[in-house]
Amino acid sequence: MAKRLGVYIHIPFCASKCSYCDFYSLSGCDHMMPDYQDALIDHIEESAQSLKSYEVDSVYFGGGTPSFYGADRIVEIFNTLKLNGNVRLDSEVTVECNPDSTSLNALKLLREEGVNRLSLGVQSANNDLLKLIGRRHNFQQVKRSMQDARDAGFENISLDLIYGLPSQSKSDWAETLARIIELHPEHISCYGLKLEEGTPMNERYKGSPILPDDDEQADMYFYAADVLERYGYKQYEISNFAAKGFESKHNLKYWELDDYMGFGPGAHSCVGNLRYSFVKDLKQYISGVARGASIIDEYRQIDPLERAVEYIMLGMRTSNGISEHDYRTRCQCDWRPIHKVLLAFAEKGWAEKTGDRWHFTVPGYLISNTLIGILLEAQAGGRVEGNPWLEEAFAAEEKIDLPKGEDELFQELYQKTVNK
């Protein structure tokens, strides 16, 4: 049986650049779309031998704004992939869309040609906030796009939201969630705003008092997790919630260390123990494919210890979490120091064990970067070079030192939540 593979196809074109976005995307380059289409198709065809050694069970068109690129082009790329790879009939095929660049006819074409999932960039139901962050749509267009998608036959739709926006109040966020739930999407992603270096939003709002503070963001996160759970959306990753059976198969590949292959400038791939990415330069990518020149930006082998780090970093992002069996199978490390830390987290209410798997609780997700850092420190002390089964002695009485202030942070945030 052939191994499974996810395919990511990057569409770097946007009608305009959002003020918070640091993904590789370009506006004002529409004239380069035909040349990019040719390069992308050539690149996929050149990769046929690699693609055909797998069964492709997820395809993701991300950006940029794939819907702005055009349904005809998306369909041509997908058909090229099907001709040059073993794309399963039951594959999850996702296209990212913006509400201002969708139409009923375009969505019908995508659905007829095998696209079965949409990811719609909504961000907020507040039109003033949408203008503030540089979005081109309003919420009325979101509702129209949702109706068009349903009329086109889509039964799997994800909506992306951002909380912690400048001047956003907790009541704004509550209203957004209520209006989103009324649309009955199958999947909802909720991302806390992060100011990225080099973005207009960072330049304008870094240190600004109109940005919600950490406590306010935490309250928004807790509220989302609670409300979405009550309306049937199970949290299966830090930022992702889904109705039963509608978890993103493609994104789970990243978090579960499965193989994936990317195409387009800035796209990343991880196949076996190899990781590589392509240049973040549209012109260089197009000319490189045309001339047969290298378009690789980074290429390296992943050693077992790096895999061990990734297993914890990515696994603990999900509700599936990590297990002793998987850890010993994948990693040249001793489980006991990890287990000791997880037990300490459980005492604080930050982690819990379900069956044989450990995962974070909602309060644990909120401070997951810190908690994962502690796990990685324990892992570094528990590595066993050469023989993954060799065990070292650990003092059972040794106390896990949590960062100063984390105890207080958890207690304050948790009490705020349970007392509402």
Query: Model confidence over 49-71: pLDDT tens digits?
Result: 999 999 999 999 999 999 999 99
Which pLDDT value is given to residue 382?
A: 55
Query: Would you state the structure tokens that stand for residue 2, as one six-digit string?
Result: 């052939």
Tell me, what's the pLDDT at 333? 79
CA distance 418 to 412: 10
Please identify, in words, the CATH class of the domain defined by 3-255: alpha beta
pLDDT at 379: 87
The contacts found for 110-116 with CB under 8 angstroms, 24 or more apart, are 110/71, 110/74, 110/75, 110/152, 111/152, 111/153, 111/154, 113/75, 113/78, 113/79, 114/78, 114/82, 115/74, 115/78, 116/92, 116/154, 116/155, 116/156
Nearest partner of 150 among 190, 102, 205, judged by Cα:
102
215-238 pLDDT, tens digit each: 999 999 999 999 999 999 999 999
Q: Cα(74)–Cα(285) distance, rounded to whole angstroms?
A: 18
Residue ranges in the chain modelled with pLDDT below 50: 384-411, 413-420
- Amino acid identity, position 71: A
The CA-atom distances, in angstroms, between 326 and each of 36, 111, 292 are 41, 38, 41
φ, ψ dihedrals at 200, nearest 5° = -55, -35
266's torsion region: left (phi>0), alpha (psi -120 to 50) or beta? left
Residue written as token pair 């387009």 = 264
CB 86 within 8 A of CB 124: no
Q: What are the tens digits of pLDDT across the range 17-49?
A: 888 888 999 999 999 999 999 999 999 999 999
Helix (H) or strand (E) holding 395: none
Taking CA atoms, 340 is separated from 78, 343, 346, 391, in Å, by 47, 5, 10, 15
Where in the sequence of the chain do the CATH 3.20.20.70 domains occur?
Answer: 3-255
d(CA 308, CA 330): 7
Q: Is the peptide bond before 164 cis (omega within 30 degrees of 0)?
A: no
